[in-house]
């Protein structure tokens, strides 16, 4: 066995993450989006200036970095799946005598090989769990190579090959409804460790009624490749203010790599309990000393007691709590999977501000940064291994699943936010193998269930949508999707009650529907208004039977807000419901939805891929958030339409007690909020607009607090015909970026406000089209929303000509 192939034991990864000497390797990288003929090509000297050794050309990049930052949503190509190389040169200065120099990967996809010069020092399969490679011996050996001083001037050349090629014997399946990204798309760290380092610290915080005393059972792994005979140290427990409340000592004899050693069990009197409203965290500080060198590691823990009651709701710390949740993929406009900590902070804060207290991290282990944020913000977590769709492969496949399940649980063991370990997603979906054997899938699901319970007895297991395995896990989530993939949304309770009776513990993950941001329709609310009966409210049978509501109104924000609104009002009167998580918080890219209004995008989010809020965000906020809020529907709906004098519904989403609506200075009365008064919890008014510009004002009151909102909308009464022309104009020009808008009109020049034609932006000249973002304002090919589409161009201090094509309509151009 090659001596550089030190086992890449990911269960030790936390030693790298919180050791005292850690450097993020963000800068000074080069990238090649293809394979090389040999590793030598990546390091060979340049013999002749501009010689053939320079080919292929490398690109300077910063980490984190994803192969597919743009092509994941390029409407004209399949996203790249194959190898890519990264290289850099490191200055190494390890302060520890006989210490170790480590590369710690927080995540890289999907298969990764690591080299020092031309020597392979480590390899890992799996795009989502953390792992590390020990470079120590390879560095010492390379220093003996003349190239160390002559070519690399005392620096260490490191090359990393990532590969996201299709492979049926790897998880997740390529049939999954998300991209299997490539690259070093999470942070990469250089870590200096002493001779013996701390590995995963497994701190199990528990508390029992009446919650007077808590305990923390602490075990630790160590990285000890030289087999040092003894490690000693201390463990300290501090409260949220930093006050040390417990100190204990320990000794570990002959610690072996991969083994968890008992450190001690400590008691905490009158512990502060962790909850979404008060996510109180304690700190476990562990030191380890061996051969005169000391290393320290800190972990956060929280005390909480949760229960999925048999055939009943969810309880936290002895009280019922309705889990109000969403889902998340690691994907963002312009970077794909390579989200920075700033982006992740912004996303999780938006989720918290919406009022959520739960999130399912689909469908793979996610960044440690996200889990830390869930702990500190008070958001419960369902995290799952990436066994998603396709069936069940052979031994290589199953070993990867076992390994990734183990890594996920051991690496995220301490997070109080986590309450559910997901074993898989839609495992009833076949297609990757000639055989689809339900008995074999059940057997492996049972094995994974046992593994999860053995690694962590304190949490529950779960899966979503695999009915023939629903009896295996602790908590099951069926497929319901009322009003989108199944039936109508007024049937939500009926569908849910049917599924509830089939299992002992049910959680409803995944519900909602798609919406094309900026697309609105008069049809859904007109149907609802027509179904209203004085003194009774909405006739649900009339809504359910409205073909136009369910068919013509879909993919509009107008329809989806009503679907969400209905579910939320019903959930307030389902006393047996543990909770739900709508799909999904943010639009994300997917290779299988190439014909969506935004190609290659799943558009079920309540925010766009760049965090731009859709109208549905405010529906959830009105039900879930405690902070007073008020929002008039239609901030991104500039033109409404109808007949002169026709009454139109105006809705407001607010958690205030009452609200008053003004249109063009006229009050349409005060409405009391009542969650069961659909739509918009009673905050809806029938209004007569004037042709042209209308000013709308909302004043909402919650106690002595008043919040307001205003929008301006044009009301179009002119009738339009078939789209026949396009008008391209500049609507903004700021800081070197110009924004253009195309509108579709009929032959008489009247705006076609319901037009959904495909449009394709193009640009020639000095500028740069800001496209391939996967948003309705950052895509060159998309369906129009209410007869318009918008994109921006970076001018680059030059001249350009923008064009727009649409099938069957004359192309238009604009000089910039």
Q: What angle do CA 702, 704, 706 make, to 5 degrees?
A: 60
Round to whole Å and give the CA distance between 521 and 507: 32
CA–chain centroid gap for 430, Å, is: 25
Round to whole Å and give the CA distance between 202 and 260: 8
| 517 membership: H or E segment, kind and range | none
Round to whole Å and give the CA distance between 779 and 771: 5
The answer to whether the CB of 305 falls within 8 A of the CB of 209 is yes
Burial of 735 by CB count in 10 Å (0-12 exposed, 13-18 middle, 19+ buried)? exposed
Nearest to 461 by CA among 443, 444, 471, 449: 449
- Residue of 130, 159, 383, 426 with catalytic role: 426
Give the helix, strand, coil percentages of the chain, each rounded to 5.
20, 35, 45
Round to whole Å and give the CA distance between 123 and 160: 10
The answer to whether the CB of 788 falls within 8 A of the CB of 639 is no
Residues paired with 720 in a beta bridge = none
- Token pair, residue 686, equals 């029938």
The sign one gets for the Cα dihedral 464, 469, 475, 476 is positive
- Token pair, residue 147, equals 């190239």
Nearest to 330 by CA among 185, 189, 145, 466: 185
The answer to whether the CB of 796 falls within 8 A of the CB of 768 is yes
CA distances from 400 to 3, 761, 807 (A): 23, 43, 47
Helices 492-500 & 557-571 angle (0-180, nearest 10) = 50
426 is catalytic: yes
Round to whole Å and give the CA distance between 750 and 402: 61
* Cis before 341 (ω within 30): no
The answer to whether the CB of 135 falls within 8 A of the CB of 102 is yes
The answer to whether the CB of 615 falls within 8 A of the CB of 711 is no
Residue with tokens 């804060």: 349
Round to whole Å and give the CA distance between 639 and 592: 33
Residues known to be catalytic: 426
């Amino acid at each position: 066995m090659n001596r550089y192939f030190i086992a890449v034991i990911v269960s030790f990864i936390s030693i790298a993450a919180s050791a005292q000497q850690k450097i993020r390797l963000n800068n000074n990288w080069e990238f090649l989006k293809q394979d090389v003929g040999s590793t030598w090509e990546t390091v060979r000297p340049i013999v002749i200036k501009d010689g053939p050794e320079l080919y292929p050309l490398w690109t300077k990049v910063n980490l984190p970095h994803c192969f597919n930052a743009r092509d994941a949503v390029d409407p004209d190509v399949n996203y790249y799946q194959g190898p890519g190389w990264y290289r850099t040169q490191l200055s190494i200065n390890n302060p520890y005598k006989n210490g170790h120099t480590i590369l710690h990967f927080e995540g890289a996809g999907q298969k990764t090989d690591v080299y020092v010069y031309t020597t392979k020092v480590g390899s890992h399969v799996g795009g989502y769990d953390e792992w590390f490679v020990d470079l120590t011996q390879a560095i010492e050996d390379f220093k003996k190579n003349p190239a160390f001083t002559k070519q690399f001037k005392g620096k260490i050349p490191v090359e990393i090959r990532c590969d996201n090629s299709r492979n049926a014997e790897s998880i997740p399946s390529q049939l999954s409804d998300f991209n299997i990204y490539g690259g070093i798309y999470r942070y990469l760290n250089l870590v200096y460790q002493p001779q013996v380092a701390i590995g995963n610290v497994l701190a199990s915080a528990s508390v029992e009624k009446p919650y007077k005393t808590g305990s923390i059972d602490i075990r630790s792994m160590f990285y000890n490749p030289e087999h040092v005979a003894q490690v000693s140290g201390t463990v300290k427990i501090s409260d949220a203010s930093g006050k040390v409340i417990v100190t204990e000592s320990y000794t570990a004899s002959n610690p072996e790599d991969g083994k968890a050693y008992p450190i001690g069990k400590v008691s905490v009197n009158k512990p502060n309990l962790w909850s979404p409203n008060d996510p109180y965290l304690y700190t476990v500080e562990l030191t380890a000393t061996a051969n005169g060198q000391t290393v320290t590691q800190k972990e956060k823990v929280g005390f909480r007691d949760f229960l999925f009651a048999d055939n009943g709701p969810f309880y936290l710390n002895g009280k019922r709590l309705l889990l109000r949740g969403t889902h998340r993929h690691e994907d963002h406009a312009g970077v794909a999977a390579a989200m920075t900590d700033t982006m992740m902070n912004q996303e999780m804060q938006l989720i918290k501000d919406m009022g959520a207290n739960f999130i399912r991290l689909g469908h793979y282990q996610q960044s440690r940064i996200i889990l830390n944020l869930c702990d500190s913000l008070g958001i419960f977590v369902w995290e799952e291994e990436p066994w998603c769709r396709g069936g069940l492969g052979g031994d290589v496949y199953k070993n990867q699943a076992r390994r990734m399940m183990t890594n996920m649980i051991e690496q995220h063991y301490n997070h109080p936010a986590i309450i559910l370990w997901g074993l898989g997603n839609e495992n009833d979906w076949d297609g990757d193998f000639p055989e689809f054997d339900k008995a074999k899938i059940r057997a492996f699901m049972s094995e994974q269930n046992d593994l999860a319970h053995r690694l962590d007895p304190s949490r529950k297991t779960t899966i979503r949508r695999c009915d023939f395995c629903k009896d295996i896990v602790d908590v099951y989530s069926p497929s319901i999707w009322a009003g989108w993939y199944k039936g109508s949304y007024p049937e939500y309770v009926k569908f849910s009650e049917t599924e509830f009776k089939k299992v002992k513990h049910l959680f409803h993950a995944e519900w909602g529907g798609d919406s094309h941001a900026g697309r609105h329709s008069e049809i859904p609310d007109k149907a609802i208004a027509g179904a209203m009966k004085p003194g009774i409210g909405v006739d649900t049978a009339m809504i359910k039977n409205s073909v136009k509501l369910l068919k013509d109104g879909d993919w509009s924000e107008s329809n989806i807000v009503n679907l969400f609104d209905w579910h939320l009002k019903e959930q307030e009167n389902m006393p047996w419901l543990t909770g739900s998580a709508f799909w999904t918080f943010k639009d994300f890219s997917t290779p299988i939805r190439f014909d969506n209004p935004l190609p290659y995008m799943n558009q079920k989010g309540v925010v766009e891929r760049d965090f731009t809020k859709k109208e549905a965000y405010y529906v959830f906020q009105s039900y879930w958030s405690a902070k007073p809020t008020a929002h008039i529907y239609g901030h991104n709906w500039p033109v409404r339409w109808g007949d002169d004098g026709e009454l139109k519904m105006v809705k407001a989403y607010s958690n205030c007690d009452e609200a008053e609506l003004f249109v063009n200075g006229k009050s349409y009365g005060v409405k009391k909020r009542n969650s069961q008064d659909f739509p918009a919890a009673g905050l809806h008014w029938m209004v007569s607009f004037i042709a042209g510009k209308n000013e709308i004002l909302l004043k909402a009151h919650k106690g002595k607090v008043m919040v307001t909102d205003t929008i301006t909308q044009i009301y179009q009464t002119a009738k339009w015909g078939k789209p026949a022309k396009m008008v391209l104009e500049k609507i903004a020009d700021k800081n070197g970026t110009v924004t253009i808008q195309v509108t579709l009109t009929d032959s008489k020049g009247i705006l076609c406000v319901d037009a959904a034609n495909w449009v394709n932006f193009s640009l020639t000249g000095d500028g740069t089209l800001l496209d391939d973002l996967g948003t309705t304002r950052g895509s060159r090919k998309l369906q129009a929303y209410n007869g318009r589409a918008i994109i921006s161009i970076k001018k680059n201090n030059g001249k350009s000509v923008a064009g727009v094509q649409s099938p069957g309509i004359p192309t238009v151009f604009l000089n910039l």
